[in-house]
């Protein structure tokens, strides 16, 4: 550690801005201390402190001229790397009707950050895990984040809402920065934490710090920890939260929470986003734009017109169980750094520290899956490839199967899905219902603007496609024993290619039964193809409808009734796809027949935008449906399955 005069900040500013880097640091603006581009030392919040309490943030004059004598303001480094609004790609429809998609690259803007607290450095590491070290890497984030010089500041004066010491992220800067500063009157204690930091430090006028300087900093950090307000008990916090999903406190806090999403806006780690189409007036071109979003909005969880989390209590539960619970399983760290922003900026004065204590006021624990390792990340630009419609098969009044010529499906596994898109209209996840060489099939039901438009496509027309995504059916685990396939409605689509492959391999699949329920006989999908299956060795088909037509001579009633009549046997393995209610009753019927939960697989559905785990929308407890599913072994999701608002 070195000791320098505080006047060396001038030199440090020059060094940080070398090569045209934008220097971002704390400055006073609009009555708050915010992170913004600054050029001169005088722009630091010299002589200011921010006084914070639940629902309150005020600036006050200090009695000294400390430059870093404040805590944290409403924004953080998050917006520098994970842009609040980011164009992902531009789509064009040429005069000949053909489509083109062009990735948008953020302009190269080298940055230097100064005055970053340990809690916010921890937040940057958390976001790095989300965007750079998950299964999919976000190149936009990577481009903005790369080559950033970071100068941290040890926090010697924590605010009353700070709890970084509970979360293990501060107050001392120990990693994630090139330099770490401590301000002591007109002196700076400076530590280099990286080779680049050493190079910077070498260019400052500084002397080796003494033992007493080291002791001063140690004492200052101890005093800082001691000054922090309410502590949070983080031991097994993720497991304690998941054991209390039905805690009455959720209803109580919801009576105060405004669902305004202020907490998620100021949070330095929240990463949920939406993606919308921005169309030119002539409709010939459009942009796909990613925008910050919040799990407190209704739209965040909306599926087929209904919000999965309709109640504020369900949204608060999602937020707090994700931030302090599911995050651990997803990213091997808590999503909270203890910065206290969500408390200061909550207009209802909700203090997350109090809520955590109240929600876990018992000894209950529910184990969560251990953190998933990610050996290899792949860049995911979220830009579609162009696909062309080869043929259209009308399956029923509102369902069609599009056969597409599209590249990139060589590794497709039955059960996976694609993101299909049309410029200016939107993008949606659609199950892949079949593959034949370079052609893939998607069976689509017209339920909204995009699916309506997709169902109206004609041969020769083009659309956008991404994928395949997700985890498919475990065909190898199913082989060798009796297999029961249960489908409801359009839920047969993601099962069709699995059925084809099993039927084509009677040596491995000797006893295969399909139980299929539809609304009416006209709604039965792939009727002609299924008739061709019934003579195949080892295969039996049982179809039923909820509402029979006058000419229907088959079964009438729900699909679970068919299942009850058949001897399934406890050696069977089952794969199910249909509405959650139908799957719930099917799993129960299978359990009564002796088939345990770890031999049943279901496919789940939640609101997806990116399909890569980066938009945060399709969460199901510790899982992302898009990349951890959509196929789950039932015991993985049994404790969450069918629960309202999860």
Q: Where does this chain bind other proteins (CB under 8 A)?
A: 303-306, 398, 447, 488-491, 517-519, 523, 544, 546-548, 550, 552-558, 560-561, 564-565, 577-582, 585, 605
Cis peptide before 171 (omega within 30 of 0): yes
The whole-angstrom separation of Cα 458 and Cα 403 is: 10
Positive/negative CA dihedral, 630, 631, 635, 636: negative
- What are the beta bridge partners of residue 477? none
Tracing tokens 């030392």 back to the chain, one arrives at 41
The whole-angstrom separation of Cα 562 and Cα 515 is: 7
How crowded is residue 440: how many other Cβ atoms within 10 Å of its Cβ? 26
**C-beta separation of 171 from 155 below 8 A:** yes
Residue 205 gets which letter from DSSP? -
Nearer to other proteins, 308 or 425 (CB): 308
The whole-angstrom separation of Cα 429 and Cα 277 is: 16
What proportions of the chain, in percent to the nearest 5, are helix, strand and coil? 30, 30, 40
The whole-angstrom separation of Cα 519 and Cα 398 is: 13
The whole-angstrom separation of Cα 214 and Cα 220 is: 10
The whole-angstrom separation of Cα 179 and Cα 116 is: 10
Residue 415 gets which letter from DSSP? T
Which residue, 119, 120, 183, 178, is CA-closest to 151? Answer: 178
Tracing tokens 């991404």 back to the chain, one arrives at 466
Positive/negative CA dihedral, 450, 451, 452, 458: positive
Which residue, 475, 237, 477, is CA-closest to 352? Answer: 237
Pairing type for strands 512-518 and 483-488 reads parallel
Tracing tokens 């903005």 back to the chain, one arrives at 144
Positive/negative CA dihedral, 157, 160, 164, 166: positive
The whole-angstrom separation of Cα 198 and Cα 258 is: 48
Positive/negative CA dihedral, 189, 126, 259, 317: negative
Which residue, 549, 557, 529, 523, is CA-closest to 541? Answer: 529
Least distance (Å) from other proteins to the CB of residue 229?
44
Beta strands in 132-238 (DSSP E): 136-137, 149-153, 179-184, 187-192, 206-208
585: left (phi over 0), alpha (psi -120 to 50) or beta: alpha
Tracing tokens 């005055």 back to the chain, one arrives at 115
**C-beta separation of 517 from 578 below 8 A:** yes
């Amino acid at each position: 550690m070195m000791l320098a005069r505080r006047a060396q900040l001038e030199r440090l500013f020059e060094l940080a801005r070398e090569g045209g880097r934008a220097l971002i640091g704390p400055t006073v603006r609009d009555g708050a201390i915010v992170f913004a581009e600054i050029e001169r030392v005088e722009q630091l919040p010299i002589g200011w402190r921010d006084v914070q309490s639940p629902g309150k943030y005020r600036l006050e004059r200090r009695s000294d001229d400390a430059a870093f004598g404040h805590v944290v303001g409403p924004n953080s480094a998050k917006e520098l790397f994970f842009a609040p609004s980011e164009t992902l790609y531009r789509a064009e429809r040429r005069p000949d009707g053909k489509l083109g998609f062009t990735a948008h690259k953020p302009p190269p803007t080298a940055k230097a950050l100064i005055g970053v607290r340990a809690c916010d450095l921890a937040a940057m590491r958390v976001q790095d895990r989300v965007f750079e070290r998950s299964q999919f890497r976000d190149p936009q984030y990577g481009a903005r984040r790369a080559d950033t010089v970071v100068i941290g500041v040890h926090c010697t004066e924590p605010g009353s809402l700070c709890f970084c010491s509970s979360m293990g992220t501060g107050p001392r800067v120990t990693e994630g920065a090139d330099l770490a500063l401590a301000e002591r009157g007109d002196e700076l204690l400076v530590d280099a934490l990286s080779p680049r930091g050493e190079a910077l430090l070498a260019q400052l006028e500084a002397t080796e710090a003494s033992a007493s300087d080291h002791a001063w900093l140690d004492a200052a950090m101890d005093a800082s920890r001691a000054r922090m307000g309410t502590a949070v008990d983080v031991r097994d916090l993720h497991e304690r939260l998941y054991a209390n999903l039905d805690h009455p406190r959720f209803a109580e806090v919801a009576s105060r929470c405004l669902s305004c999403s202020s907490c998620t806006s100021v949070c330095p780690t929240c990463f949920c986003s939406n993606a919308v189409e921005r169309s030119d007036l002539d409709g010939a071109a459009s942009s796909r734009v990613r925008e910050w979003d919040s799990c407190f909005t209704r739209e965040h969880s909306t599926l087929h017109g209904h919000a999965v989390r309709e109640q504020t209590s369900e949204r608060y539960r999602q937020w707090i169980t994700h931030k302090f619970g599911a995050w651990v399983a997803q990213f091997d760290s808590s999503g909270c750094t203890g910065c206290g922003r969500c408390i200061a900026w909550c207009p209802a004065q909700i203090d997350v520290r109090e809520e955590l204590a109240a929600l876990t006021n018992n000894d209950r624990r529910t184990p969560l899956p251990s953190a998933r390792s990610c050996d290899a990340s792949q860049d995911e630009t979220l830009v579609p490839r162009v696909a062309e419609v080869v043929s259209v098969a009308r399956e029923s009044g509102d369902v069609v199967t599009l056969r597409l010529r599209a590249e990139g499906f060589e590794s497709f596994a039955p059960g996976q899905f694609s993101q299909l898109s049309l410029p200016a209209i939107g993008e949606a996840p659609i199950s892949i219902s079949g593959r034949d060489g370079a052609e893939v099939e998607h069976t689509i039901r017209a339920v909204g603007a995009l699916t309506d438009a997709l169902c109206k496509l004609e041969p020769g027309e083009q659309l956008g496609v991404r994928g395949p995504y997700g985890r498919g059916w475990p065909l190898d685990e199913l082989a060798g024993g009796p297999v029961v396939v249960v489908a409801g409605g359009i839920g047969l689509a993601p099962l069709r290619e699995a059925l084809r492959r099993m039927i084509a391999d009677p040596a491995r699949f000797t006893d295969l039964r399909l139980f299929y329920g539809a609304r009416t006989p006209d709604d039965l999908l792939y009727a002609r193809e299924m008739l061709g299956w019934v003579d195949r060795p080892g295969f039996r088909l049982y179809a039923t409808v909820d509402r029979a037509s006058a000419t229907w001579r088959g079964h009438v009633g729900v699909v679970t009734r068919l299942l009850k009549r058949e001897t399934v046997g406890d050696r069977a393995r089952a794969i199910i796809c249909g509405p959650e209610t139908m799957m719930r009753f099917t799993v129960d019927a299978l359990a009564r027949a002796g088939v345990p939960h770890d031999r049943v697989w279901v496919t789940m559905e939640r609101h997806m935008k990116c399909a890569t785990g980066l938009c945060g929308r399709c969460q199901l407890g510790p899982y992302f449906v898009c990349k951890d599913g959509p196929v789950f072994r039932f015991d993985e999701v049994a404790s969450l399955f069918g629960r309202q608002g999860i």
